[in-house]
Amino acid sequence: MGWEVYRSRAGIIVGTILVQLFSSTCVILRFYIRYWKRQAVLASDWLVLVAFVCGTGLSVMEIYGVAANGFATPLNATNPSLQGLSVRLKMVQHMEYAFVLIGIFAVGIIKLSVSLLYWHIFARVKFRRFLMGWIILVAAWTVGFVLAEIFECGAHPLKIFGTRHDVETYCSHAHDIGYALVGSDVATDLGTLLIPLPLVLRMRLPRTQKLLVTMTFLVGALAVGASTAKAYVFIAAITAYVREDGIILVTAYSMWNLVEVHVGIIAACGMTLRPILARIFPFDRFVSFVRRSRSRHGTESARLPSFVKPESSCPSSVPETVEIPQEMKQEDMTFQTSALPGVV
């Protein structure tokens, strides 16, 4: 893997600012849509806001690290024992430790936010029972790995900042915890992405409308991609530690920690931004196609979740719950449309 890109101080700062701006825009628009549609702010919205605060903190630390000649500034010494004695590397190690802990917490909060959004969208009892188990699993994952990182050196947590001998003696499981973290992170992101798809695919809907519903939920693939990239960087950094500059490796991992959080926020907000996107992008041709389709499938289309309806066809007020009757679907399912704002 080429590590030269992480030596660019300007590149790290610009990348940090860009992802911060994108996630900030998505969060602001999410809350603006709630205000615009006069809808209550849900628990999933507040959790995204908490994750955004964490992500903003990571952005500030990343920029400060670069400005303080920490991140993106090589030690010019690739000997691991010498790196362990560097004062500057110790500063970066402390910042990396904060990155890992805040990153785990923020990513876990994002997964919980998306899961709670599913809870508000789908009112099917069996699905909610499964979803409750998934929410408990994600919460346990978050708390478990935060504690695992804090106590990765057992009863001597500060030894993680010590010499190489201290780390090897007291923190022998640090890499194992890291591998478990990045692997389970990708797995839980993928699970969160796939949870609603079986329900959507079982619905009796026109093909185009079903595709639109599916693609709306697949926005979460952005988060899966970001967590996969972070896992790759972590594994590559571990294998390259003896021959690459330590600060550059830490810079790479911290940057992808930050990117994962902000991309996760963007993905979590993506499903709720349909009203704004419908006004920005030219959907005229698509709306015309949907109208022709609705002339043949009027009853089915009228009962679609409001977040996939074309703007001109949505009612002026969004009902709290829209039920699809038994004869129009294969399984009993209800969409709670207040969770995903309608377009008026």
- Answer yes or no: is 210 within a domain: no
* Predicted pLDDT of residue 272: 84
Q: Are residues 252 and 169 both part of a single domain?
A: yes
Instruction: Look at 85-89, 92-96, 307-311 and tell me which has the smallest mean pLDDT.
Output: 307-311
CA distance 41 to 190: 26
Q: Are residues 38 and 180 both part of a single domain?
A: yes
Average pLDDT over residues 254-277: 89
Q: Which residue bears the tokens 């590397």?
A: 89
pTM: 0.80
In the predicted structure, residue 331 carries a pLDDT above the cut 60? no
- Answer yes or no: is 341 within a domain: no
Which residue range is the domain that position 306 belongs to? 278-335
Q: What digits encode the pLDDT tens for the residues 290-317?
A: 556 656 555 544 444 555 444 444 444 4
CA distance 112 to 138: 7
Beta strands 322-324 and 333-335, pairing class: antiparallel
More confident position, 79 or 190: 190
Domain termination residue (choose one: 239, 261, 277): 277
Q: Is 76 exposed, middle or buried (0-12, 13-18, 19+ CB in 10 A)?
A: exposed
Average pLDDT over residues 120-141: 91
CA distance 192 to 190: 5
Q: Are residues 182 and 325 both part of a single domain?
A: no
Q: Is 275 exposed, middle or buried (0-12, 13-18, 19+ CB in 10 A)?
A: buried
Q: Are residues 8 and 119 both part of a single domain?
A: yes
Instruction: Look at 56-60, 121-125, 284-288 and tell me which has the smallest mean pLDDT.
Output: 284-288
Q: Are residues 299 and 245 both part of a single domain?
A: no
More confident position, 181 or 272: 181
- Element holding 138 (H helix, E strand): helix 125-150
Q: Are residues 315 and 187 both part of a single domain?
A: no
Can you spell out the DSSP letters for 19-65?
HHHHHHHHHHHHHHHHHHTT-PPPHHHHHHHHHHHHHHHHHHHHHHH
Q: Are residues 331 and 230 both part of a single domain?
A: no
* Predicted pLDDT of residue 92: 87
In the predicted structure, residue 238 carries a pLDDT above the cut 50? yes
In the predicted structure, residue 244 carries a pLDDT above the cut 80? yes
In the predicted structure, residue 142 carries a pLDDT above the cut 70? yes
- Answer yes or no: is 212 within a domain: no
More confident position, 122 or 32: 32
Instruction: Show the beta-strand stretches assigned E in the chain.
Output: 322-324, 333-335
The domain tally of the chain equals 2
Work out the pLDDT band at 325, boundaries 50, 70, 90: very low
Q: Are residues 234 and 317 both part of a single domain?
A: no
Domain termination residue (choose one: 241, 258, 277): 277
